[in-house]
Amino acid sequence: MNRNELIKYIELTWDNLKDEGTTTMMRVDESKAPIFLRATDQTVAFLITLDINRDPDIKQKKYNNVSIQIEKLSPETKAIVVTLTNQRFLDTFAKIVADVIATTMSVANESEQISIFCIKVNSWKNIFSRGIGELLAPEEQVGLYGELEFLKSLINEGIPTNSVIDAWKGADAEDKDFQFGSIGVEVKSSIKQDKLVKISNIRQLDTTGYTELYLYYYSFAKSNGGACTLPAQIDEVRSLLVGSPYLEEFEAKLLSAGYNDSDKDSYPASYTSFLEDAYHVYDKFPRLVKPSIPDAILDASYVVDLNVCDSYLISYNCLIETIKGA
């Protein structure tokens, strides 16, 4: 099954289980891993079974509309159960479930099945924490727009699609928005023209583990009623991925970033590029990183004034050539 077929299969199975009026669970077809779907009138869930003595790398937690629990099924078996408690968000939850199942179902080794299942569920914690179905905040909208603008430019520059989609980590809330091997790029976008950028944590501009790190800055003029909206930007990227096996991965990353097509009418803002600059982050580029801050300070967010960073400017072409050589 491809991703869309899997989503339809999941939704149909939940509907059938609800019609039966029981809490019976059904094993996912074609899955080598023991993954099951479960539904009641009020909730839908998916789960993976494991030996009662195994300790999975996942924490039980109740989020807004989603819970992760460990349930004992028998004296020999327990399960990691992920449950949606508000069926308003069933469409979004089905896409998340499909992503987890698609990654896990072909794995034959039991230990790997549990490990991959936990990794994928944990990768969605960002969405669970912010709330399934919650709209992107204005700063998140322009941030995603900027990351997609950069992604689109990379593809248009001839960098292989698979490399670009794999490199896009911003949707997964990692410290660098793009990672090409040991080269990192952090994309910052603003609707102000003051060239002040917020750095979210002390790892964001840390070059540890990287041979090169760059900061790419966009300044956008924002308006309402224009053509360059976030949904339009997403459709442009999709058009570049038509026929590519990486389109499904892109869709999964969009969902992880908090974007859902069902909300597209809620994003009418249009963005026009006003300024873009590339900076090489090295040496004395202004930043807070370990070990230059006291050990007692575990993390910090701060603002960098790019107006005083002209000595670190590099050309767009130089950045692209560096990425191509990664």
- Tell me the per-residue pLDDT of 39-68, one tens digit each, with 9 for 90 and over: 988 899 999 999 999 999 999 999 989 999
Q: Which of 80-84, 119-123, 230-234, 274-278 has the lowest mean pLDDT?
A: 119-123
Domain ranges within the chain, ordered by starting residue: 3-130, 138-324
Confidence at 292, pLDDT banded by 50, 70, 90: confident
Q: Residue 55 burial (CB < 10 Å; 0-12/13-18/19+)?
A: exposed
Using CA atoms, how far residue 264 sits from 32, 58, 247, 267, in Å, is 36, 33, 19, 6
Position 304 pLDDT exceeds 70: yes
- Distance from C-alpha of 132 to C-alpha of 101, rounded to nearest angstrom: 18
Phi and psi at residue 133, to the nearest 5°: 90, -5
DSSP code at position 20: H
For residue 192, give every residue at least 6 positions away whose Cβ sits within 8 Å of its Cβ, in sequence order, or none.
219
Can you give the pTM of this predicted structure?
0.84
Determine the number of helices (DSSP H) and then strands (DSSP E) in the chain: 9, 13
Helix (H) or strand (E) holding 83: strand 77-84
Mean pLDDT of the 218-228 span: 93
Lowest mean pLDDT among 69-83, 248-262, 303-317: 248-262
pLDDT value, residue 245: 87
Q: What is the pLDDT of the chain when averaged over all its residues? A: 93
Name the E strands within 88-182.
Answer: 178-180
Q: Closest by alpha carbon to 266, among 125, 83, 136?
A: 136
Instruction: Tell me what percent of the chain is helix, strand and coil, each rounded to the nearest 5.
Output: 40, 25, 35
Q: pLDDT class for 20, splitting at 50, 70, 90?
A: confident
Cβ atoms within 10 Å, residue 72 = 10
pLDDT score, position 3: 83
